[in-house]
């Protein structure tokens, strides 16, 4: 839970602080009854959407990532999440070094993004 609402575990980010309510089962093992997000030490850039465009410098299908040289000269690492749409994954699999792309991503850190969509 986060802010009184259900919050899927897949939305947790590095730096999120959680509070876990435990209970002991009949087998004497501990189980989490409820997990609450109580704060975050994640970088301030997390949560904002960023639009970038530039030239693909590297593609790694095995790691589901690409490196993009933005028009500003900045080198960005863009990760393609497993939960991406079929259209987004298809577009990623067709990328070549040297392709010019526009994309929308959620910052993970200063020069790393999680791909939301190609534009």
Q: Where are the domains of the chain?
A: 9-40, 50-118
The pLDDT of residue 1: 63
Residues 83, 23: Cα–Cα separation, whole Å: 32
Q: Which residues of the chain have pLDDT under 50?
A: 45-46
d(CA 32, CA 65): 33
CB 113 within 8 A of CB 79: yes
- Please give the Cα distance from 12 to 40 (Å, whole number): 10
CATH architecture observed for domain 50-118: Beta Barrel (2.40)
pLDDT of residue 3: 60
Query: CA-CA distance, 67 to 32, in Å (whole number)?
Result: 39
What's this model's pTM, rounded to 2 decimal places? 0.59
Q: What is the pLDDT of residue 41?
A: 59
Note the pLDDT of residue 45.
Answer: 46
């Amino acid at each position: 839970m986060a802010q009184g609402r259900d919050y899927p575990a897949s939305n947790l980010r590095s730096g999120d602080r959680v509070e876990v309510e435990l209970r002991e089962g009949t087998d004497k093992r501990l189980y989490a009854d409820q997990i609450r997000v109580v704060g975050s030490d994640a970088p301030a850039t997390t949560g904002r959407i960023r639009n970038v465009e530039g030239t693909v410098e590297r593609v790694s299908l095995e790691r589901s990532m690409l490196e993009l040289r933005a028009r500003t000269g900045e080198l960005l690492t863009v990760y393609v999440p497993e939960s991406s749409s079929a259209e987004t994954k298809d577009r990623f699999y067709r990328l070549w070094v040297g392709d010019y792309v526009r994309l929308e991503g959620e910052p993970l850190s200063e020069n790393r993004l999680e791909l939301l969509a190609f534009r």
